[in-house]
């Protein structure tokens, strides 16, 4: 039986300079008290070629969580540019918001992020070494990719994942996202 639902994730501070913090407003609904903490982390994917370039930007423990609806703003500093391969610094990558309970991941919300220069001259003729102080990140937030994992909330044995698209929130700061296959599902039906 599911004990936690993610009812909404809003991307804040978007678009923004590359070196500014990531900010997500997360709303959780718990149907019963959770005696242990939920761990949430933000992961920046530095390269599609290897997980070795993934950076955990921040990790927080939320809880113990009583039954009810809970909202918090999760903020993490920008990734370390020196850990991103030069060929992957610009263009599209991914940022993930991951939640776990008792060490087992139960939800992963992924967003495409487009990193590009705001100056048209730099876009046309990018320098060999990226100038991150002139790069803007744009989180494509309208159709996040949600992967749910069924876990046994008592002993946390993991089950195969289920992937769905999460309906977008109504934040005016969000931009259009690459179209993903639609899944008819309301936020209320997204139980974890």
Q: How confident is the model at residue 40 (pLDDT cuts 50, 70, 90)?
A: very high
What integer pLDDT is reported at residue 174 of this predicted model? Answer: 33
Alpha carbon distance 180, 17 (integer Å):
26
pLDDT of residue 143: 87
Chain CA centroid to CA 185, Å: 19
SS3 state at 135: strand
140 in Cβ contact with 113 (< 8 Å): yes
Calculate ∠ Cα 152-155-160, nearest 5°. Answer: 40
Strand blocks (E) in 32-157? 38-45, 55-62, 68-76, 91-101, 104-117, 135-151
Which of 38, 16, 13 minimizes the C-alpha distance to 27? 38
Stretch 8-22: mean pLDDT, rounded?
A: 97
Lowest mean pLDDT among 9-13, 87-91, 176-180: 176-180
User: Residue 10: pLDDT above 90?
Assistant: yes
């Amino acid at each position: 039986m599911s004990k936690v639902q993610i009812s909404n994730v809003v991307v804040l501070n978007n678009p923004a300079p590359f070196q500014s913090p990531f900010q997500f407003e997360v709303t959780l609904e718990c149907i019963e008290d959770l005696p242990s903490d939920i761990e949430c982390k933000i992961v920046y994917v530095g390269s599609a070629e290897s997980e070795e370039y993934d950076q955990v930007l921040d990790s927080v423990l939320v809880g113990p969580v009583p039954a009810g609806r809970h909202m918090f703003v999760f903020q993490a500093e920008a990734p370390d540019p020196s850990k991103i391969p030069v060929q992957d610094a610009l263009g599209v990558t991914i940022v993930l918001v991951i939640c776990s309970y008792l060490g087992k991941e139960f939800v992963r919300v992924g967003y495409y992020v487009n990193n590009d220069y705001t100056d048209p001259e730099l876009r046309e003729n990018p320098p060999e070494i990226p100038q991150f102080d002139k790069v803007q990140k744009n989180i494509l937030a309208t159709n996040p990719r949600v992967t749910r994992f069924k876990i046994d909330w008592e002993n946390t044995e993991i089950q195969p994942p289920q992937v769905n698209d999460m309906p977008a929130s109504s934040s005016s700061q969000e931009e259009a996202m690459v179209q993903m296959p639609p899944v008819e599902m309301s936020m209320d039906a997204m139980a974890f």
